[in-house]
Structure 1
Amino acid sequence: MTAYVVMIKEHTHDTDEMERYSEKAKAAREGHDPEPLAFYGDFKVLEGSAMEGAVILRFPDMAAARAWYQSPAYHEARQHRFQGADYRVFIVDGIEEA
């Protein structure tokens, strides 16, 4: 079943760290091939906390999403994200197609 990684950027603290994150995160996608469905495009918060942007990545299944998130390359990248901004990140199963 398809799985989605949703990353919600709430507040940026350090743009230099976020630039490093961006470079390393792009390289960390190699071999995992997530499909970006949304990538910091225009948005409108309808309910809940304010945010600066969001990313939605589609993976073939939950195992593939976890493999990318737990990969050594993404582990290295996300250390810069932790220093650069506050995020909410989660993985969610999609629904089975009829």
Structure 2
Amino acid sequence: MTAYALAHLRREPIHADVLEYMERVQVTLAPFGGRFIVHGGTIDVLEGSWPGDVVIIEFPDMTKARSWYDSSNYQEIKPLRTMHLAGEVILVEGVEPDHSSSQMAAELRQANGL
């Protein structure tokens, strides 16, 4: 099942280390089938607040996503980002193409006696 690395990064003044990170991160993705599907871009906040930017990287599955994050090539450049940009990074599994929110609700209702 497809998995995603999602980062919510706070906007900070541009630092040379962050630019180096951006220049080098792409080659760390290729061995794991990773590709950017969101990288910055316009954000239209509809509810709450969103102080920062969004990055979403797609991977074939959670194992590949975790292997990329743990890889020595990525770990080598990660401090270039983390020393200068605050934020959160998560790995999350996607859903099957036939995913149904109403079916999920029905299963949760049943499991929780609602």
TM-score band by shorter chain is 0.7 to 0.9
Question: Superposition RMSD on alpha carbons, in Å?
Answer: 1.6
Structure 1 residues not aligned, in runs of 5+: none
* C-alpha distance in 2 between matches for 1:71 and 1:2: 19
Q: Deviations over 1:47-87 (max 9, x none)?
A: 34432211111111100000111111110111111111112
Partner of 1:33: 33
**Please, what TM-score do these two structures have when normalized by structure 1?**
0.87
Higher RCO, 1 vs 2 (CA within 8 Å, ≥6 residues apart): 1
| Amino acid in the other structure paired with 1:88 | E
1:85 aligns with 2:89: no
1:51 aligns with 2:63: no
* C-alpha distance in 2 between matches for 1:75 and 1:48: 33
Kindly indicate which of the two structures has a greater share of residues assigned to helix. Answer: 2
Structure 2 residues not aligned, in runs of 5+: 99-114
**Please, what TM-score do these two structures have when normalized by structure 2?**
0.76
Kindly indicate which of the two structures has a greater share of residues assigned to strand. Answer: 1
The answer on whether the counterparts of 1:13 and 1:85 sit within 8 Å (CA) in structure 2 is no
Structure number with greater Rg is 2
* C-alpha distance in 2 between matches for 1:69 and 1:35: 13
